[in-house]
Amino acid sequence: MSGRALSFGAVAEAYERFRPGYPTELFDLVTAYAGRPLHTALEIGAGTGKATRLFAQRGVTVTATDPDGSMLAELRKQVPTGVTTVRAALEDLRPGKRYGLVYAAAALHWTSPEGRWSRVAALLEPGGVFASFGGPFRLADPAVEEAVRAARAPFLGSDGIPSPDGTPPGDGMQWPGTELQRSEWFTDVQQAMGERRLTMSPRDYLGHLSTVSAYLVLPTADREQVFRQIARVLPESVEMTADITVHLARRHHEDARPGPLQP
């Protein structure tokens, strides 16, 4: 697992404060796709529980996993009941209990590609549902986006995360749907989009950036300087586009490859 993937724990409280939650409509979309009540779920990369509470507060028994103990400690403060926490990356989990739903919220790209889908399949009941959702945060005003890009350029070329399998942004099916379509473990792959618009103060926008891995791994002096540079170009009200892309897939009822998980 990369340093960027393990960079969040130091800012767990900021992550909880500045990262937005997920709308009820997302829960409705997942349950409608499942076509049956969801009783148990395993979450990959739960962080501080932004998505955990979406399911736990609606009666789903969630096992929330994350490799970072500080993030899970913050999650337990925010979602005190109905959730079991396990400090582990997807690669650390071993076959055992199976769940009706396995999901990842803005976290799947941190998992290892090697054996990813056989691992997920081993955690799902036959016919169980996998869901991945998230999306980039973008400044809505192109002029502000350009000003921020220029301000960070001496320190950082980009603060985004490219598609893990190189799928161009304009393609009809985005990652991880592209991989799910190729996987022998899954069927009925679907992609859905939901609009999300946010307005925040410059201070809160910088707070959000303080939770972004590209900035977290900068040397402290560089990070402080780039935030000062960005603060100078921000308007009084910062408009953000934070659309959510959802990918859904169903585990095959039959075990196409019932052998052990790949190491």
> Which CATH number is correct for 9-137+161-196+243-251, 3.40.50.1820, 3.40.50.150, 3.30.450.20, 3.40.50.11540?
3.40.50.150
Q: What is the pLDDT of residues 204-224, one digit of tens each?
A: 999 999 999 899 899 999 999
All residues at 6 or more sequence positions from 141 whose CB lies less than 8 Å from its CB, including other chains: 235, 239
Report whether pLDDT(261) > 70: no
DSSP alpha helix (H) spans, the chain: 12-18, 24-34, 52-56, 69-78, 116-122, 142-152, 177-182, 202-209, 213-216, 220-233
Q: What is the pLDDT of residues 47-73, one digit of tens each?
A: 999 999 999 999 999 999 999 999 999
Residue 191 to residues 26, 38, 106, 140, 181, Cα–Cα distance (Å): 12, 20, 15, 23, 11
Asked if 111 and 44 touch (Cβ cutoff 8 Å), the reply is yes
List residues bridging with 101 in a β-sheet: 41, 129
